[in-house]
Amino acid sequence: MSGEHMDIDKHVRTYVLVFAGLMVLTLVTVAISYLELPLGPAVALALFVAIVKGSLVACFFMHLIDERKLVYWVLGFTVFFFFCCLLGPWLSEINEIGPDLLN
């Protein structure tokens, strides 16, 4: 975003709204942790809120909502390899339970 011709006031209003949203979502994250939910739903909910918060930061503070195509490509590859990285623990788990599945 070059910023040469953009409406700064509109952007500033958006930043303030996103800031308020992030603060509220932080309190929501903490409140969820006190609900004593089982691990599965607790992880799913906490990660969902974290993904929403992360998306707000990336889209509005990092201006990803209005970025060039090449940046999206770079991030697309990064997300792909990031999930490949997270596959490691899953494959390890499969390796652990694999012999049991065969028996």
Partner 1 sequence: MDAIPYTVEERPDTGLNNVKIGIWLFLASEVMLFGALFASYILLRVGAPPGTWPVHGHEYLDVPLATLNTAFLITSSVTMVMAWAALMRQRQAGTSDLRKYRIYMALTVALGFGFLIIKYFEYSAKFHHHWYPSTNNFLAIYFVLTGLHGLHVIGGMAVNGYLLVNTKMWKTAPQQFANRVETAGLFWHFVDLVWIFLFPILYLL
Interacting residues toward partner 1 by CB under 8 A: 1-4, 6, 8, 11-12, 15-16, 18-19, 22-23, 26, 29-30, 32-33, 39, 42-43, 46-47, 49-50, 53-54, 57-58, 61-62, 68-71, 74-75, 77-79, 81-82, 85-86, 88-89, 92-93, 96
CA angle 51, 81, 73 (to 5 degrees): 80
Q: How far is the CB of 65 from partner 1 (least distance, A)?
A: 13
Q: State which amino acid sits at residue 9.
A: D
Q: For residues 97 and 32, is the Cβ–Cβ distance under 8 A?
A: no
Residue 65 or 74 with smaller CB distance to partner 1: 74
Tokens coding 42: 């607790």
